[in-house]
Amino acid sequence: MNIQAYIESGILEEYVLGAVSSQEKQEVECLSKIYPEIKTELLKLEQAMEKYALEHQTPPPAHLKGKIFAQMKFGPISGQVDTDEDQGATVVPIGTGTTTTRPLWASLAVAASVLLAVLLGWAFYQMSAYRAQNESLTAEVESIRSEAEYQQTLANLYRSTDYKVVRMAGVERSPESHVVAFWNQATNEVLLDVQKLPAPPSNRQYQLWSIVNGTPVDMGVLDQEFEGRILKMKATQPGTAAFAITLEQEGGSPNPTLEQMYVIGNV
């Protein structure tokens, strides 16, 4: 990653001025946690602006301080009470039933026999349809079973105390994206659950990186079929500070392309 180019892009200045979107805000905060150079620059800018602001003072009226402090309670016990608004229950009216009156029993019987004849013909025709449906149901059950297995595996990962859950949120270019990494800190095994990533263009593939001591380390490429399954990635190293995913050439790259970063998350 070209840290210098990032620093010079002007985004840090915009961040310090409070002129960034919440996506950009998160990106700056993540990257400054990973890269000391960014953090240093950010801190210098913040300090400069702080001093600048402190050179521009308008003292509030003298009586205001007492008025404000009279409303504050100090000490270890917090005097603040959160009031939750009651959730009003909504009553949904039940639809009024329609009542129909049947004419004579005779006309009922005629109608019934006509209906029976139609049903018989229809039933015969349906026999073959059921057979086909049966097959598609079997396939559906199979897919539900594999979905359930996936969900069960996920639930186990979230429950397990062996795995550290690291959420990678989408950056400005792809705010919808969201990927979760499960890091077994004992064995350093890393599993991925892609909740949302755009479909990669042809000849491109997503690649996972771990940031160790400020340096990105290749964690392998994501299988092109990444949705609805748990992906096993390369093992990481102790001291991993963050995970990130970039879009690279098919088969992966030796170094990440920062401009193509989709998600990032601190440990």
Partner 1 sequence: MAPPKLKYTEDELVASLKRNEQAAFEYLYDHYSGALYNVICRIVRDNEKAEDVMQEAFLKIWRSISSYNPDKGRLFTWMLNIARNTSIDAVRAEGRKPDFDDIQENLDRADQHASYQPSPSTMDLKSLVEKLKPERKILVDLVYFQGYTQEEVSEQLRIPLGTVKSRIRTALQDLKNYFSV
CB of residue 266 vs partner 1: minimum separation in angstroms? Answer: 10
CB closer to partner 1, 52 vs 125? 52
Binding site for partner 1 (CB under 8 A): 10, 13-14, 16-19, 29, 33, 42-61, 64-65, 67-69, 71-72, 74-76, 78, 80
Residue 8 to residue 244: CA distance in whole angstroms: 22
Here the tokens at position 78 are 């917090």
CB closer to partner 1, 82 vs 225? 82
CB closer to partner 1, 44 vs 145? 44
User: 140-152: buried (b, 16+ CB within 10 Å) or exposed (e) per residue?
Assistant: eeeeeeeeeeeee
DSSP SS3 for 250: coil
CB of residue 42 vs partner 1: minimum separation in angstroms? Answer: 7
CB closer to partner 1, 55 vs 86? 55
CB of residue 267 vs partner 1: minimum separation in angstroms? Answer: 13
CB of residue 3 vs partner 1: minimum separation in angstroms? Answer: 17
CB closer to partner 1, 168 vs 233? 168
DSSP state of 232: E
CB of residue 163 vs partner 1: minimum separation in angstroms? Answer: 24
User: 69-104: buried (b, 16+ CB within 10 Å) or exposed (e) per residue?
Assistant: eeeeeeeeeeeeeeeeeeeeeeeeeeeeeeeeeeee
Residue 192 to residue 209: CA distance in whole angstroms: 12
Burial class (CB in 10 A: 0-12, 13-18, 19+), 165: middle
CB of residue 173 vs partner 1: minimum separation in angstroms? Answer: 19
CA angle 104, 106, 107 (to 5 degrees): 75
Residue 236 to residue 170: CA distance in whole angstroms: 22
CA–chain centroid gap for 141, Å, is 28
CB closer to partner 1, 72 vs 129? 72
CB of residue 83 vs partner 1: minimum separation in angstroms? Answer: 13
CB closer to partner 1, 78 vs 101? 78
Contact 217/251 with Cβ under 8 angstroms?
Answer: no
């429950």: which residue's tokens? 159
